[in-house]
Structure 1
Amino acid sequence: MDDAPESTATYWIGDRRWAMHASGFADAIAEAYANHQRPRCLCRPAGDGIEMYVARLMNGYIVKRMPNTGSQHATSCPSYELPADLSGLGQLVGTAIVENPATGETALKLDFPLSKLPGRSSQPPAASTSPNIASQGQKLSLRALLHYLWDQAELTHWHQGFTGKRNWAIVRRHLHSAATHKFARGSALQNRLYVPEVFSVEHRDPINARRLAKWTSALAHPGKPSQLMLLIGEVKEIVPSRYGFRAVIKHVPDQAFAIDERLFRQLERRFSGELALWGAFDSIHLVMIGTFCVSYSGLPTIDSLSLVTFTQEWIPVDSPHEAHLVRSLVNCRRSFLKTLRYNLCAGTSMASAVLTDLGDPFELHIATESDTLEENPLEGSNTRNQPAHHWVWHPSQQPLPPFPTVRTEALA
């Protein structure tokens, strides 16, 4: 079952108002595409609507928001997205992420390679697993790429209708959809991306056959550069093996991923916080994004990686406090968007989440240990403008404060 809500989006196309699921809508946007018309989203009652564009997919057409216009839409609109400066996305739009409305394609600049020469590590693991000053605002780190796909898949969105409906099958399908029409280093991201499908014993053989077929492009050939695949999968365990270490990914029980000792030791240091959070709470998912090659014998070996923790609803969190905040929002049946850091370091001040059920976006901040109740932790924030209304939690000094009350008219 899909976890996407039933869309109420309506558009002005040509000389007529159309609901997204109305009979004839598909023909209307196909005609708009052929005539180079721009649909206008009617999510806000005032004005002439917000300009959109029509992109062509393999099996049809889709209406998409224009670049950098997501925050102009109503928070209840499917096209709404946070202002870029409320997360690490703001540093990357227009430089590492360049969308072309004429083609519907997006070019991505990565700070890690998708190929390696025989016998060489493609780059020092630490550089590919942690955002660094040189890459900020210019290229996507592995973590930033995962955050971008999660945002594009709208897996950072939550409302009570999603409860019990978001599982790995849904996550996988949305990630593959998000990767469509994204290009990096001259190739389609979707062709490089491996997200394990849900495993079942009954379908073991066809699942394995599809996996091996997907990996064909990453097979090593003597004397030639290896093409790297991108893995996004939930970690089951990372343990010593007879030679080096191995990562066991859920839904891939028949094939572990090799990790050399050097990368494993750096993994322990760089991701100590993520590993500790994963180990402390059974409800936390640990997801690996990494590049890997496949030996001639079929053994996959991780070349670079990053680890990200998620709540049981598959919402990314950076700390136990963020996990508690998200759990409380879900339990209170609130609608919200989870902000993501992309390349930003952990010390950068930013909202942890934004409520979307109050009519206007409402920022939720978690103060650092050095902030006091009298101080404003938003000073020095990376946001362009201070919010008119905001909520701040000082975990070391107070219990979780109550959230602002939902206004009935905001949900209408």
Structure 2
Amino acid sequence: MHSDTVPPAAYDIGGQHWLKDEPGFAETIAHAFVQRLRPRCLCRKNSEGQGIEMYVARLMDGYIVKRMPYTGSQHSLNCPSYDPPADLSGLGPLLGSAIVENPATGETALKLDFPMTKLQGRSTQPTATTASNSVASQGQRLTLRSLLHYLWDQAELTHWKPGFVGRRSWTTVRRHLLRAAEYKVARGHPLLASLYIPETFSVEQREAINHRRLQRWAPARPTPGAPQQLMLMIAEVKEVVSARFGYKLIIKHVPDQAFGVDETLYRRLCRCFERELAIWNAADELHMLVIASFKLDESGIPSIVEMSMVPVSPQWLPIEDQFDRLLVEELVRNERSFIKCQRYNLQPSMVIPSASLTDCGELPQLLVIARPANDGADFRSALQQMADLDEPSPWIWNTSSEAMPVLPRERGLQILEFQSCEVRSAIDTPLLNLPVR
């Protein structure tokens, strides 16, 4: 029997215990930010009886307590700050190189391997980017696909619990992605300044939505004598179809404006994303995400410069292939709690867990798919690396010789309880009564 009961996050702030949702918490972390105090998460304690160190970051509409870089796996499975070890996915090689988080400022610097500007008068060769990356980019820069994976992880759209059923719409996805992009900096500029994620379309709000879209795109209009800024779009694909000249990308929730796709890019699209397009075509309930850079011409018409595509389940969980899809469907159908792992820049031949179950007791349970193309030696090496994490032996589905095995049994998780303490110490600094996420 599953349970969606998750205890509220609990912190030690300046020697006082606080629950995230109790009155006065927003003011307390605002004060902690000003005084540079480091909260400690009480989901687990170290040998000295102290919690796991966190930090307070300032967001656009308030403050938030965030985990320190690379510490997600130190938290309890039922803690909101828990994340699987980065080395279990393609995230590990990127941390500290392509992704650099600064707890002092709350900003995260992202190094991109694709341009965000275009020189006027110089033709740009459109490209469709796939899992294939140059050796130089491995662990050094974010491709379009790995940037999408990173934002999906940061937005916790890779997390799933039975209580999420019916509550994850495009409006929810968009809201979480925009929050995840806050205080992310790429090429010295805020990522949000270049990011376009379509609003959920409404006939009644058509004119207002179109007006906000044009305002959002204004920085990308070409200016004589200056490099043209490119926009970055994350959206759901409706279709890619022939146009009077070339092809056009139709985006859901943007019915009034197609995106130009030239013939060279279209051919590369069909070749590079053959597997992803086949999965999407075979199951009507799947969504297809696109992350793309695009430019505007003098009249404001957008055309795609570079793009990548990622299929996702009806719950917006990323999937790689048919085996991945079947496993995600089985997990959702059985009302399991799990975190979906993502490949980032890693090649398809490299073995990573498909997902990590978070409802099997005190330790996560890794779920591994052994595909026919996996090399025996590499597969055994990957399993050994997972075994070295001091976690339960991975669940393995050998797709070439067996049906999907029975999923690991669900087990209850002991919930840490403590007595919340009233904060009695005087706070001299004026408090900012700001909401907290």
Shorter-chain TM-score bucket reads over 0.9
Q: Name the Cα RMSD after superposition.
A: 2.0
Q: 1:385 to 1:312 in 2, by over 3 A?
A: closer
Quote the offset at 1:150 in angstroms. Answer: 0.1
1 CA distance for matches of 2:379 and 2:132? Answer: 25
Shift of 1:127: 5.6
8 A Cα contact 1:136 1:343, kept in partner: yes
| Aligned position for 1:303 | 305
Structure 2 Cα separation of the partners of residues 289 and 324 of structure 1: 24
**Match status 1:290 vs 2:322:** no
The match for 1:346 among 335, 345, 348 is 348
Of residues 138, 141, 152, the one that matches 1:139 is: 141
**Counterpart contact for 1:130–1:143, Cα < 8 Å:** no
Contact 2:6 2:79 in 1 (8 A): no
- Does the CA contact (< 8 Å) of 1:107 and 1:184 recur in 2? yes
Who is 2:250 aligned against? 248
Change over 3 Å in CA distance of 1:6–1:380 after alignment to 2: closer
Q: 1:176 is matched by which residue type in structure 2?
A: L
Q: How does 1:84-163 map to 2 (within 5 A)?
A: 84-122=86-124, 125-126=127-128, 130-163=132-165
Distance 1:91 1:135, change over 3 A: same
* Alignment of structure 1 residues 153-232 onto 2, 5 Å: 153-232=155-234
Give the match for residue 74 of structure 1: 76
One-letter code aligned to 2:381: G
Q: Report the counterpart of residue 402 of structure 1 in structure 2.
A: 406
What secondary structure does 1:308 align onto?
Answer: strand
**Which of 350, 369, 372 in structure 1 is aligned with 2:372?**
369
Q: Distance in 2 between matches of 1:350 and 1:77?
A: 23
Does structure 1 retain, via aligned residues, the 8 Å contact 2:11–2:41? yes
Q: Which amino acid aligns with 2:71?
A: T
Distance 1:383 1:311 in 2: 30
What SS does structure 1 have at the residue aligned with 2:204?
helix
1:174 Cα deviation from its structure 2 partner:
0.4
In structure 1, the partner of 2:381 is 380
Judge conservation of contact 1:111–1:128 (CA < 8 Å) in 2: no
Alignment of 1:36 onto 2:39:
no
List gaps (5 residues or longer) in structure 2: 417-437
* 1:72-128 deviations in Å (ceiling 9; x for gaps): 001111101111100000010000000000000000000000001124344561568
User: In the alignment, what sits opposite 1:24?
Assistant: 24
Q: Residue in 1 aligned with 2:424?
A: none
CA distance in 1, matches of 2:238, 2:386: 41
Q: CA deviation at 1:210?
A: 0.1
Write the letter of the residue equivalent to 1:13.
I
Of 336, 339, 355, the residue aligned with 2:338 is 336
User: Deviations along 1:152-208, whole A, 9 cap, x unmatched?
Assistant: 000000010101100100000000000000000111001110000000100000000
Query: Equivalent residue for 1:312?
Result: 314
Which stretch of structure 1 is more off in the superposition, 183-192 or 44-53? 44-53
Post-superposition offset of 1:397: 1.6
| Equivalent position of 1:355 in the other structure | 357
Aligned to 2:382, what secondary structure does the other structure show? coil
Tell me the CA shift for residue 44 of structure 1: 1.9
* 1:323 alignment counterpart: 325
Distance 1:250 1:401, change over 3 A: same
Q: Which moved more, 1:139-148 or 1:360-369?
A: 360-369
Q: Measure the CA separation in 1 of the matches of 2:365 and 2:183.
A: 32
Amino acid at match of 2:399: P
Task: Give the Å deviation of 1:34.
Answer: 1.4
Contact kept in structure 1, 2:13 and 2:38, CA below 8 Å: yes
Distance 1:114 1:309 in 2: 24
Q: Which has the higher contact order (CA 8 A, sep 6+)?
A: 2
For residue 190 of structure 1, give the secondary structure of its aligned residue in structure 2.
helix
Query: What TM-score comes out, normalization by structure 2 length?
Result: 0.89
Q: Return the TM-score normalized by structure 1.
A: 0.94
CA contact (8 A) 1:367 1:377 kept: no
Partners of 2:125 and 2:91 in 1: CA distance: 25
Deviation at 1:15, TM superposition (A): 1.9
Matches of 2:276 and 2:243, distance apart in 1: 22
TM-aligned CA deviation for residue 357 of structure 1: 0.8
Take 1:23 and 1:34, find their aligned partners in 2: how far apart are those partners? 19
Q: Do the aligned residues in 2 keep the contact of 1:147 with 1:342 (CA within 8 Å)?
A: yes
- Unpaired stretches in structure 1, ≥5 consecutive residues: none
Larger displacement relative to structure 2 (115-124 or 275-284): 115-124
Maintained 8 Å contact 1:85/1:382: no
Matched, 1:392 2:393: no
**Kept after mapping to 1: 8 A contact 2:233/2:290:** yes
The yes-or-no answer on 1:8 pairing with 2:4 is no
- Give the Cα–Cα distance (whole angstroms) in 2 for the partners of residues 41 and 273 of structure 1: 42
Residues in 1 aligned to 2:156 and 2:72: alpha-carbon distance in whole angstroms = 12
Other structure's SS at 1:211 match:
helix
**Which structure 2 residues correspond to residues 231-270 of structure 1 after superposition, within 5 A?**
231-270=233-272
Report deviation, 1:277: 0.5
Q: Tell me if the contact between 1:97 and 1:109 (Cα under 8 Å) persists in the aligned partners.
A: yes
- Is the 1:129–1:305 Cα contact (8 Å) retained in structure 2? no
The worse-fitting range, judged by mean Cα deviation, of 167-176 and 401-410 is: 401-410
Question: What whole-Å deviation, never above 9, does each CA across 1:305-340 have from its counterpart, x for those lacking one?
Answer: 000000000000000110110010011111100000
Q: Distance in 1 between matches of 2:215 and 2:298?
A: 14
